[in-house]
Amino acid sequence: MVIYTSAALALYCSHCGKIHTHNICRFSLNACNQTELRCSCGHMQAKISPARKDQFFLTIYCELCRKNHVLCVNFTHSGASELRKLYCANNNLELGFVGKRQLIEQTLERHRYAVNRALPDQSGTDNENSQVLLDVLNRVHDIAESGGVRCNCGSAAIRAEVLASCIELRCQTCGASVALAARNDMDLARLDEVKNIELSLSCHSRQTY
């Protein structure tokens, strides 16, 4: 029987837009009631507290819901061959992921590579792109609150995923998706004119705003 004593936890920062990785030690966690997880920018990303056996509670703020979510995370995910993504239960927004440190570093490297390929010659791109991603998320939240996000199949189960240069919305029922560009202020301004976001499987192709 393998007992996992630590886990790597990567979380999106709602303040600077970057992804920060935390090492969670099972024994250190059991010695305290609650621990704050802070990004390298100083912003508090989440709080963790011990749970039963191989688990811990993660309390994290969701930008779309504007409230805290409490997730139960298992230390055994650190031994899995794939990362476990953490989502907002209400809007299916990706909040981060947990798993092996090596897998997380490989995933982050792929994200950085994608951003550098998309915008290779612009200084300050990483910070600016991260802020645009957050602003686009906030705009999607506003549209969703007014009932403007929907799928042609009628399902309300729509998941949002943060990618290198866009926000992808995907229907969990029929698989229809739409990519909302989030590369610069022009993309944000274009989205400000959008009142409704409709997912469709027409022509079996992914739409892009």
Nearest to 70 by CA among 48, 96, 55, 85: 48
**CB-based contacts of 68: which residues, under 8 Å, 6+ apart?**
59, 60, 61, 62
**Average pLDDT rounded to a whole number, residues 15-21:** 80
Task: Provide the whole-model pTM.
Answer: 0.56
pLDDT digits (tens, 9 = 90+) for 113-161: 554 554 444 444 455 667 788 888 888 878 887 888 888 888 878 888 8
* Averaged confidence pLDDT in the chain: 77
